[in-house]
Structure formats: C-alpha cells, structure tokens
A and B are shown apart, each in its own frame.
Chain A
Amino acid sequence: MDNTEASVYLSQFIGKNLRIHTTDDRVFGGQMKCTDKDRNIILALTYEYRAPPADVIREAVEASGNPSVPVTWNSRYVGLVVVPGPHVKKIEFEDSGRSGVVL
C-alpha cells in the first residue's frame, strides 16, 4: 500500500466508531478523530470499558455454576482521549450493520 492508498484507507474511518483494545486490557470505544504514523489515535466521545477483577468473575462463576456466565464490564465516560500507539493491541471498526470488524 503506498502513501496515498494508505491515507485514503485511513480517512474512511474518520468520524466512525472504533473500539481500541490496549495492552492493559481496557477497551476504548469512541469516534475516531485522527491518527499519525506512530499509531497514536484520538477518539472523541469515548467510553472506557474494563473487565471486572478476577475474584468478582470467580464469584460469579461459582454462584451460577456456569463457567461462561456473562459479567458486566465497568464502563465510564472519558470524552476526548489520545490512545498512545505503543499500547494499542487491537482496533475494531464498529459498523452499524455488522457487530464488528477486526482491522
């Protein structure tokens, strides 16, 4: 992919909702505003999601007896954030039609 192609490809996600997984196992869902060559990404209207602590999950599993019992993730609104490139593990594109596409 040359420079122009790459730019065109990335531009299509501007203003679209992305889900970014980070190295500390948080997920940030927000509207992509811009990015740079170091993969730093600016998200607007972002929510931060985090899995509950291990012992909470263990308790929930023990209580229900079902090893794949759903637990609710903690979420909080963080607004406009920069996700530093080195910490990005995975980026998902939230398409309104489909549930999510891994980029």
Chain B
Amino acid sequence: MDPKMDSGFLLPNETLEDSYNVLAPILPEEVIGIMDQLLCYEMAWHTGYPLSQTLFTSVYIDKLLWPEPKTVEEAQFYRGDLPAGRRPGVLLEVLRAYCLALVKCCDFVIAKITGRDYFEEEDFCTHTYNRVLFVQVPLDVFLRELDAAVERMEDTDLEMSSSLRKAIISRLDFRRDFLRALDLDCPLEHLSNYWPPILSNLTSIFTTQQLGKTVPGSFSTKIQRRLASTVPPRPIVELEFKDAFEKLKQLCIDCEEATRFTSLEPDPLEYQSFLLVFASRAPTPLPYSRSYLATLLFHPQILNATSSLPLTDVRTLVLPCSTILSPANWSFSPPRNPLLPKPPRLQLALLVDEFIERTGQPYLDFWTALGQNTCRLRRMLTHVIGGWDQLQTDASIVDADLMRVVTEMGMRDEVMDSPLTVWVYQKKLWMIEKCVLLGFEQDIYLPDEYGGMYHFLSLISGRRKVVLEAISAHFVTRARQLQHADQLPEAADVEDGAQHIASLISEADGVSSLGAALASFYTVLLYLKVLPRPARPFSSQELRFELRMKPFLALQPPEVPPFKDWLDKVQPYGPYELPSPSFLADVQNADSQLWSNMDANIKRAKEAFSAVMKIGATNAKCGGVKEAWARDVKGVLASCVALGIAVAGVRSRVARSGGGIKMEVEMGVQGLGIGIEIPLMGTAKRYAEGWVVAKVVKG
C-alpha cells in the first residue's frame, strides 16, 4: 500500500484519530498558547494556505464544528449531555467563545473575498471541507459569547495571576473588535471607527505572547483524513508568531487605509489613483484587504452615485462644460409621431447613453484589474487593453453621429474632434504605459532588454502627449468661447479642468523623455558590453521582440513599431558585437549628439516632473493619496538625477580610457573599469520602482 496514494494508510501502531482529550482541564498559560497558535494559523490561512493545513488542524475547532451543530448552544467541545462533574471548566468555556468567534471571523472573510474577484487557490483558499462556519448565525450571538467569556475572566473567584488574566482578556477583546470590523454589514459612514481599536489592542497581545505555553497535542494533521478524503494528510503550515503578528498588523493597517476610500471626492480619477497606490503598497496587501477595498469600490452607494463614473471621466477629460453632456438634454421627450425626427438635444442624450452603456464592461474590467495585486494587474491590463481597443472602434461610430448632430445644431466649434475616441485612446495609451512600467517594477525584463522596452515606453507616452495636447488646445478654445459668451463661472471651471490636462501632459512628457534617455543609455551600455547578455541559442531578437509586444500587436491604430524601425532605434550602430566605427567616435566625443541628446532628455524629464509636482496632487486627481503621490513624483525626479550621474560617469570613463575603448568595443574585453550595478526590485535601491537606473561602479 502506498501512503502517498492512500489517505487511509496507517503506519503500524498509528491511529486514525487523535487521543487528545478536549475536555481535560487546561491551564491559563495553555489557553494563551492555544489562542496565539490559532492566531498564527489564521494568518497563515490569510496568506493563502488551505484551512485543512491551518485552523482546521485544531482539535478544539474540529470538535466545535463536527458533527455539525444545529445551534450555537450545541457547538460545544462535546455533543449530547455530560454529567455535571465532567462539564468543561471556565477556561475551556472561554476558549470555546474565542474559537466560535474565530470561526465566525473565517466565515466573514470567506464571504467578503468570494463576493469580489479573486482567484481560488492562487490568492486564497475558501474551501471549508463541508464544515459550516456558522453562516446563518448573526454577529451578536458571538459578541454575547465573548462578553460572557470576559465576564467569567473578570470574576474574582477565579484564581489566576493578574497578568495572565489580563492577557486572556486582551485576546478576547481583540477577537471581539476584529469580528466587528470583519462584519459584512458595517455602514459605510462608520467604517473608519472599526480598525483603530484593534491596532491599539495588538501590542498587548504581542507583549504577553511569552506568557503562553504551547499545547502541541491540540493540533493534529490527522483531522485532514476526515476533511478531504482523497489526499493523505499534509503537514501543518507553521508561521512564526512574530511573522503572523506582522501580517495581522499589516492587514489592519491596510484595511484602515482602505476605509479612507469612502472619504474621497466622488471622482473616478481619484478612485483610480487611490486603487493604484493601494495595490502598490509594500508589503503587498493581503487578499482580504484587497477584497475589502474592492467591496467599498463596488458598493452600491459609491457605484450608483448621481452621475455614472465613466460619464464623469469623459466630462473631466474631453467634454468640459459641453452641451453634449448638459443635463437638460435628458429632459426632452421623443415626439409623439415616431416618423418625426427627434429633437437634436435628445439625440445627443441618446447617443451618450448608448456610449456609456457600451463603456460599462471595459470600464468595469479596468476597475477589477485595479483591485488586484500589481502582478496580476499587469497581466490583466494586457487583456483590458484589448477590450478598450474594441471600444475605441465603437466610439468612433458614436463620434460620427455626435458630430453630425452637433453640426446640425451649429455648435461644431464648441466640441473637439471625435471626443469619445480621444477619451478612449488616451486611456488606452495610459494603460499600455502602465503595463510596461509595471513590467519594470516586477523585473519582468532582463537588463539587455531595458533599452528596447524603455524606447517603446517613450514612444507610447510621446503619442499620449500629442493626444493630450489636442485636448488642451480644445480646453483653451472652450474657455475663450465661454468668456466671450459671458459665461464666466463655466469658463473658470474649464480653466480649472485645464490644470488636470496640464498635469497629464507634463507627466506624459516626463515619461517620454526619461524613457528616451534611459533607452539610449542602456543602448550605449550594450555596445560597451557592460550589461550582462545571457546566451540565447534558440531565440532571435525578432522573436523576443514579438513576445514582448504580444499584448499590443493587435491594437488599432497600431502602437507597436515595425521590428525594423524598432531595431534601428535600439541598434543605431549595427549589431552590439560589431558596432560601426562611428559608435567609437560618438561615444568618445563627450559633445557628440549621442551624449547631448541624452542630457537634453534627462533635463527635459526633470523639468516635466518638476512641473507635475508644481501643478500639485489635487490637479493630478491624486488628492486622496497626496503623500504617496508626492513620494512617487520625488522618486522619479531622483531617478532623473541618478541617471544624470550615471551618464556622466560612463561618459567620463569612456573619454579617459582613450584607445582602450577600441579593444573593449571590438573584442568585448573587460578592462575599462566600468562596472554596472542594476538595482533589483524590492531591494529599496530604486528611487522609483518602475524606473530602473543602473549605477556605475568601478568594474
């Protein structure tokens, strides 16, 4: 018989069941030990392990949940009646209350996570192995049990040292607060009150942890035989208390941060920046925290705000104070006679409605992706971009109709060309940029690909900048028109809105310039043969290019440059092994176009990001995450400075080396004294995670 194939296989003298007696009296130290152990397993579950290898290994929890109790009263460590003398003591009753509340916590967590988009067994395991985690029992029952337990502990007849008593009570208090915070029906307005008390209670649990005494016998892998019959028991997941405690703290802090979402300006762009900042929090928020935020985002109170989110988005970006979006349009009724033409304003309303409805799914997909962790966000974005590409085609059809109606109404000059298409296109380009930047953030690309990918990034953001400039021009015209028409408040609104566009333009300009500078910097490094280049006997540059561009190849209009053009840009001097002689001349001449272009781009990027900083968080629609936003912009500025230093370092070394460079370039000999250090992800050595700036060191 094979123990790996047969879950019922027992070694000689091994028993199927455990002999641990759950009714045996326990010491207060042991109660603390068990509670803390349970907390460790709870957090291990939160990080993605199944219940069977974590909480469900507890004999106490098993006895509570199986055989399935019909009522909470029945959920005891025993079933049926016991003679009065054998009933569990006070401490066991306290432990029972704690376990019941813990189980209900799990129930809440599962409900919250399964209520939103998550990936079973990748993010989280929701399997409960046919155990019902008191789904039907309301919260207050558990609160009552906990309160009763606290009362029992406070009873002076109970002999126990006061530190132990306090330690147990603080654990019960924590469980009560935690359970309350996890409740699914917390009203939005009071959300922020739930997390701070937990955080304040946590320290006392941490400091009293050493009072506890572990009871290894009360946890067993054997229970798994009854949970999942087809797999033999797997080892218990051991998470150290210190680490579990950190996870718990992080969970509470992240959730507290998420509650700030409810106080944001009701603006989709603010939501977007909040979600992005939340996803890139370090360490990465646990699945529960992400679901918590996503639940807030998709809360009916937020989603069904007065005007629809995509509509607000469109208005902010392309149709400021426009007749097309005037609320009055929606008050017209169609003519009684269906043969008569509809009033033009009603036609506008219908067209906008049609477009907004069409936007719904891609828009929702985009938000869903934003609610994931950054790794999945990057992968999901590649699909979302496809959806938006389709949307762009449809938008152009609606745009044509809109233009026709607007021309009929004689206000063609009040509306920019194809506003909806422009809106979709701008968003799509932003997503492509984000996708590439996230790739850098997550070390998807190898150092010898940096040049090519930064070049692509620079290309895309350059395109976005052109689109944004057209929008900006429209804002200027529109403001002037409104001023002429003496609609001064509206004109002021448009001018305010133009600030946001200005911020976007500067940002796109900065990304494009810094991308271009980095691309040529890494290209030079490749020619100098100081970047590691792995041997790739079975691939070609063209295939690798195709692979990296795969998510963007099908887009219309095409965003990916033809391979030949791209190659000309990343290999301007021919193959890296054998550069043309002009490379030597250029690289050794500190005043050559090669270096001056790089410097100019860095300077331009610095100016652009400084401008973004100056225009401010509120205008960047990042008002809700001001601090994180400022940190990010400063990080990018620091990256510009670091790149300037790195470029100067390489240039001066190459200039100093004189003839040695010829050897280096032509034969690949290392001897110039240029060494390169690539800061890896997560080492906190990058100023901004998406901008990898190599450091020049003595080689």
Interface residues of A (CB under 8 A from B): 24, 26, 48, 50, 53, 74, 76-79, 84, 87
Contact = CB atoms under 8 A, between A and B. Distances in A.
A84 B1 CA distance: 8
Contact of B8 (A50, A53, A79, A84): A50
Given A78-B7, A84-B1, A48 B229 contact: yes
Contact of B16 (A50, A78, A87): A50
Given A53-B15, A74-B16, A78-B7, A24 B229 contact: no
B1 A87 contact: yes
A74 B9 CA distance: 14
Nearest to A74: B16
Nearest to B8: A48
A67 B16 CA distance: 24
Contacts of A77: 229
B230 A78 contact: yes
Tell me if A's interface is mostly helix, strand, loop or mixed: strand
A74 B10 CA distance: 14
B15 A26 contact: no
B397 to A, nearest CB: 54
Given A24-B1, A48-B8, A50-B8, A76 B226 contact: yes
Contact of B10 (A24, A76, A84): A24
Contacts of B15: 53
Contacts of A53: 15-16
Interface string B223-257: 00110011000000000000000000000000000
A77 B16 CA distance: 14
A85 B226 CA distance: 25
A79 B226 contact: no
25 contacts: A24-B1, A24-B9, A24-B10, A26-B8, A48-B8, A48-B229, A50-B8, A50-B16, A53-B15, A53-B16, A74-B16, A74-B17, A76-B8, A76-B225, A76-B226, A76-B229, A77-B229, A78-B7, A78-B8, A78-B229, A78-B230, A79-B229, A79-B230, A84-B1, A87-B1
Nearest to A24: B1
B560 to A, nearest CB: 49
Contacts of A74: 16-17
A50 B10 CA distance: 11
Interface residues of B, number: 12
Interface of B: 1, 7-10, 15-17, 225-226, 229-230
Contacts of B9: 24
A24 B10 CA distance: 9
Nearest to A22: B1
Closest 8 pairs (CB-CB, A-B): A78-B229, A48-B8, A53-B15, A76-B226, A76-B229, A77-B229, A74-B16, A50-B16
Given A26-B8, A78-B8, 13 more contacts: A24-B10, A48-B229, A50-B8, A50-B16, A53-B15, A53-B16, A74-B17, A76-B225, A76-B226, A77-B229, A78-B7, A78-B229, A87-B1
Contacts of A48: 8, 229
Contacts, number: 25
Contacts of B226: 76
A79 B15 CA distance: 22
A56 to B, nearest CB: 9
Contacts of B10: 24
A87 B5 CA distance: 14
A66 to B, nearest CB: 22
Contacts of A24: 1, 9-10
Nearest to B230: A79
Contacts of B1: 24, 84, 87
Contacts of B8: 26, 48, 50, 76, 78
A24 B6 CA distance: 12
Contacts of A76: 8, 225-226, 229
A83 to B, nearest CB: 10
Contacts of B225: 76
B587 to A, nearest CB: 69
B317 to A, nearest CB: 56
A24 B9 CA distance: 9
B402 to A, nearest CB: 60
A78 B16 CA distance: 14
A52 to B, nearest CB: 9
A63 to B, nearest CB: 15
A12 B16 CA distance: 35
Contacts of A78: 7-8, 229-230
A24 B7 CA distance: 13
A74 B15 CA distance: 11
A87 B230 CA distance: 18
A53 B17 CA distance: 9
A100 B281 CA distance: 65
Nearest to A46: B229
A42 to B, nearest CB: 14
B233 to A, nearest CB: 13
A59 B230 CA distance: 31
Contacts of A50: 8, 16
A36 to B, nearest CB: 17
B86 to A, nearest CB: 15
Nearest to A28: B8
Nearest to B225: A76
Contacts of A26: 8
A87 B8 CA distance: 14
Contacts of B230: 78-79
B2 to A, nearest CB: 9
A78 B231 CA distance: 10
A50 B226 CA distance: 13
A77 B17 CA distance: 15
Contacts of B7: 78
A24 B15 CA distance: 13
Contacts of B16: 50, 53, 74
A50 B8 CA distance: 9
